[in-house]
Structures are given as structure tokens and as C-alpha cells.
Amino acid sequence: MTTSNSSDKNGPNTLADRALKAWHERGMIFVRFASGHEASFPTKGNPRLESAAEEDVGCIEISPFGLHWPTLYEDLSFAGILERRYGQR
């Protein structure tokens, strides 16, 4: 997983920041936060994401606390993603 922002090396604060956009690209999930931080993680290692059809992996809903894939019955919290807990193994 990677996070980036030119002004703050600590990453987004999951209580104060909010996700603006989430998308899937070439086996990675990306999240952009209002603070300018971005986080990314691989779909590999998460059985539901890595074995799903591209269109299902790309159908990402943003909630106040995380990401949701409605057709995959998968939910990942922002806190878990930032702690590198984005798989089920």
C-alpha cells in the first residue's frame, strides 16, 4: 500500500479526512482523500477482489468509514486499509 501527499508524511486522518474518489486500475485500488492524500493497495491478497470480474471490482461505493463493493459483498474500512489490512487471508 502506498500513501502520498507533499505536505504531510503521516497520511490521512480517518476521523477528520474524507474520501473523494475511489477507483480500480491494473490490479490496484486507489483512494483520493479531501486532504490530498492518496492511498492504494493491490487486489491480490483479497479473495473477493482478486477473483472478481473487472466491472465488479470497479464498482466501488464510498461510505464515511470505508469502501464497499455491493456486488461482491465486500467492505474495507479506511482504518484497516491504512494499516494494510485489506485482505481476508
Q: Which CATH superfamily is domain 2-82 in?
A: Uncharacterised protein PF10387, DUF2442 (3.30.2020.40)
Query: pLDDT at position 16, please?
Result: 65
Distance, in Å, from the CA atom of 27 to the CA atom of 45, rounded to the nearest integer, reads: 11
The letter for the amino acid at 49 is L
Closest by CA position to 20, among listed 38, 2, 43, 6 = 38
pLDDT digits (tens, 9 = 90+) for 63-86: 999 999 999 999 999 999 989 998
The string of pLDDT tens digits covering residues 34-67 is 999 999 999 999 999 999 999 999 999 999 999 9
Residue 56's nearest CA partner among 69, 47, 67, 46 is: 69
DSSP state of 13: -
C-alpha 76/C-alpha 65 separation (Å) is: 8
pTM of the full structure: 0.81
